[in-house]
Amino acid sequence: MNDMRGLLEETFRRAACFVESLPGRRVAASREADDLVPVLGGGLPKNGLPAREVLSRLDEIGEQGVVASAGPRYFGFVTGGALPASLAARWLAGAWDQNAFSEVSSPIGAALERVAMRWVLEALDLPADAGTAFVTGATMANFSALAAARRAVLLAHGHDADRHGLHEAPEISVLVGEQAHATLFKALGMLGLGRDRVIRVPSDDQGRMRVDALPDVDGPAIVCTQAGNVNTGAFDPVGAVCDATRAGDVWVHVDGAFGLWARSAAEFEELTRGIDRADSWAADAHKWLNVPYDSGLAIVRDAGALRGAMSVQADYLPHRESRDPFEFTPESSRSMRGAEVWAAIASLGRDGIVELVERNCRQARRFAAGLRDAGCEILNDVVLNQVLVAFGDDRVTAEVIRGVQREGTCWCGGTRWRGRTAMRISVSSWATTDDDVEQSLAAIIRSAHSVRAPELARP
Ligand SMILES: *Cc1c(COP(=O)(O)O)cnc(C)c1O
């Protein structure tokens, strides 16, 4: 135990050095996983090492394989950093090592979840009495919300899916936008609804579901909308989808992994209008709220539907009137994700969330303007924090992306958009300053020039 303090202090020292290195650090990792595996270990060691030795190996070897995605110039995928208060909460919660499955195993775990979720619902202006679950990410948030949806739409047609699953159930029509996120199909697959047995609703040139193309459906039905297309940032017109489907008992779900946070800011009132009329929502905390991995939020208007789909009965489990976390989550034993969400929001406040969202969107517009001025082609309407850019034909764009990643000032990934290769810039970090944007713009434009994209004006 004596050495415990020394070990934690040593951990603090190493972590602080890493965090301080982030602003100046090359963003890409310096070694590949295949190179790191033999250094980390071969066969199972017979004898253990002192904890300090384990820590120094982890740091010295591991550091070479770390992507500086927590730093200010990582624009890959949709990746938030870790807000200081949230990272601190993670450390302390690690020492507490609570099993947050129940109020009995951790009163503080249950309390933090209740307060944090109340704040989330207020920030997003969603129903205060919704059923909620802290899960690992938007994939599991979609899964959890859609499990509630599956249960509810089948119950409304006289089938108890909790008891019988899909055996002899009426068929559920599942409508999904053509541009839905890949993981939504996985969630549907895990629920027995099938990845391919969905009705794909055509979308427009920004990837928004076309309400005029929604087919009429009979019987139990779920429509999966999206708030924040992972390429363009575009939002499905959720309010109009609710209007179009309200006649039948269609469950409207919103995958708002990052986009849902736009509901906090008045600037995006028009974009996000009507989202509150849906039946369920999925969001990530580890994307735009800048909570460390992993952290997602499932929100279901009818709390009973989520509880019914997720609760378990056993003689040793407590029965309480208040919200007990395990009744709402797919997991039983779990970490206290409420701590990091609570800490993030406690440190930001409502104004801080709005500032973060608005700043990142302004920075995305700056990227688009700067690249356009340099002769690059912006492929999307920059309505949120996502920018798609092409530097010429597919080969040229792919080479520019490789050049940017190699050079290391910033990191942007590639994607395909409407038949073309594009670079995707996602601005989602609390740590990104306007100066980071200028440095990154310059690096991207340098890479474009060195590939000699023919369309590009020379400086
Ligand atoms: C990121 C994302 C997901 C998947 O989220 P995970 O946190 O990786 O599970 C789902 N939908 C959308 C729209 C996303 O952006």
CATH of the domain at 324: 3.40.640.10
Model confidence band, residue 313 (pLDDT cutoffs 50, 70, 90)? confident
Report pLDDT for 246.
Answer: 81
Q: What mean pLDDT comes out for the span 74-103?
A: 97
pLDDT digits (tens, 9 = 90+) for 27-81: 999 999 999 999 999 999 999 999 999 999 999 999 999 999 999 999 999 999 9
Q: Kindly report the protein residue whose alpha carbon is nearest to atom 2 of ligand 1.
A: 257
Dist. CA 181 → ligand 1 center (Å): 7
Q: Looking at 314-372, which runs of residues are DSSP E strands?
A: none
Model confidence band, residue 453 (pLDDT cutoffs 50, 70, 90)? low
Report pLDDT for 196.
Answer: 96
Dist. CA 9 → ligand 1 center (Å): 35
Report pLDDT for 10.
Answer: 97
Dist. CA 456 → ligand 1 center (Å): 34
Report pLDDT for 317.
Answer: 74
Question: CB under 8 Å to 94, separation ≥6 — which residues?
Answer: none
- For all residues of the chain together, what is the average pLDDT? 95
Please name the residue ranges forming H helices in 30-99: 33-40, 51-62, 84-96
Report pLDDT for 455.
Answer: 54
Report pLDDT for 1.
Answer: 52
Burial environment of residue 204 by CB neighbours within 10 A (0 to 12, 13 to 18, 19 or more)? middle
Would you say residue 6 lies in a domain? Answer: no
Would you say residue 314 lies in a domain? Answer: yes
Model confidence band, residue 457 (pLDDT cutoffs 50, 70, 90)? very low
Would you say residue 35 lies in a domain? Answer: no
Report pLDDT for 276.
Answer: 97
| Inter-residue contact 149 to 188 (CB < 8 Å) | no
Alpha-carbon distance 405 to 399, whole Å? Answer: 10
Burial environment of residue 13 by CB neighbours within 10 A (0 to 12, 13 to 18, 19 or more)? exposed
Would you say residue 12 lies in a domain? Answer: no
Report pLDDT for 316.
Answer: 76
Would you say residue 79 lies in a domain? Answer: no
Would you say residue 180 lies in a domain? Answer: yes
Would you say residue 223 lies in a domain? Answer: yes
Percent of the chain past pLDDT 70, that is, above it, reads 97
Report pLDDT for 248.
Answer: 72
Report pLDDT for 428.
Answer: 98
- Per the structure, how many domains does the chain have? 1
Would you say residue 328 lies in a domain? Answer: yes
pLDDT digits (tens, 9 = 90+) for 137-195: 999 999 999 999 999 999 999 999 999 999 999 999 999 999 999 999 999 999 999 99
Residues 295, 270, 389, 212, CA torsion sign: positive
Q: Which domain holds residue 192?
A: 88-344
| Torsion, CA 185, CA 125, CA 381, CA 243, rounded to 10 | 70
As beta bridge partners, residue 282 has 255, 298
Report pLDDT for 456.
Answer: 54
Dist. CA 374 → ligand 1 center (Å): 32
Q: Kindly report the protein residue whose alpha carbon is nearest to atom 1 of ligand 1.
A: 257
Dist. CA 60 → ligand 1 center (Å): 31
Going by C-alpha positions, the residue among 281, 179, 175, 274 that lies closest to residue 233 is 179
Question: CB under 8 Å to 365, separation ≥6 — which residues?
Answer: 382
| 94, 210, 291, 345 from 340: Cα distances, Å | 11, 37, 6, 9
**Ligand 1 pocket: which of 284, 286, 384 to mutate (most atoms within 8 A of CB):** 284
